[in-house]
């Protein structure tokens, strides 16, 4: 079953603009992660935020988590054509042995 709902399903922006993707989930979580998938390739881990954290940064990435609203957002600043990919949020629950439940993903297209 899919836990996460991602919004928007597709996003098209120009190079240099910021991209924001949102993820909502249904059950309580231990952590929330974001992954990137380039066409036809495996997933690459981007960032993890724990349930007791509200914001986290990694390079051009900024993730926020609002556990009261069961939602998260991923912001990519100053986007580049190389950021074109699908982005997935994934939630990890307590006592789940590291199991992740993925959302449907947001397809980001960055035009040069």
Partner 1 sequence: EAGVAQSPRYKIIEKRQSVAFWCNPISGHATLYWYQQILGQGPKLLIQFQNNGVVDDSQLPKDRFSAERLKGVDSTLKIQPAKLEDSAVYLCASTPGRGSYEQYFGPGTRLTVT
CB 111 within 8 A of CB 17: no
Rounded least distance, CB 104 to partner 1, Å: 5
Between the two ends of the chain, the Cα-to-Cα distance in Å is 36
Positive or negative: CA dihedral 67, 69, 70, 72: negative
Which one of 14-22, 33-41, 51-59, 60-68 is the stretch in contact with partner 1 (CB under 8 A)?
Answer: 33-41
User: Taking the CA of residue 45 as centre, how many other CA atoms within 13 Å lie in the half-sphere pointing to its CB?
Assistant: 7
Q: Which of 21, 88, 108, 110 binds partner 1 (CB under 8 A)?
A: 88
Please give the helix or strand (H or E) that residue 100 lies within, else none: strand 100-102
48 forms part of the interface with partner 1 (CB under 8 A)? yes
Kindly tell me which of 39 and 112 has the beta carbon lying closer to partner 1: 39
Rounded least distance, CB 64 to partner 1, Å: 18
42 forms part of the interface with partner 1 (CB under 8 A)? yes
59 forms part of the interface with partner 1 (CB under 8 A)? no
């Amino acid at each position: 079953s899919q836990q996460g709902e991602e919004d928007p399903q597709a996003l098209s922006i120009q190079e240099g603009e910021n991209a924001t993707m949102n993820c909502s989930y249904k059950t309580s979580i231990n952590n929330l992660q974001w992954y990137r998938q380039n066409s036809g390739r495996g997933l690459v881990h981007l960032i993890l935020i724990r349930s007791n954290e509200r914001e986290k940064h990694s390079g051009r990435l900024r993730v926020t988590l609002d556990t009261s609203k069961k939602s998260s957002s991923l912001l990519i600043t100053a986007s580049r054509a190389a950021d074109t990919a699908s982005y997935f949020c994934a939630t990890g629950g307590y006592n789940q042995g590291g199991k992740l439940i993925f959302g449907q993903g947001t397809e980001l297209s960055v035009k040069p």
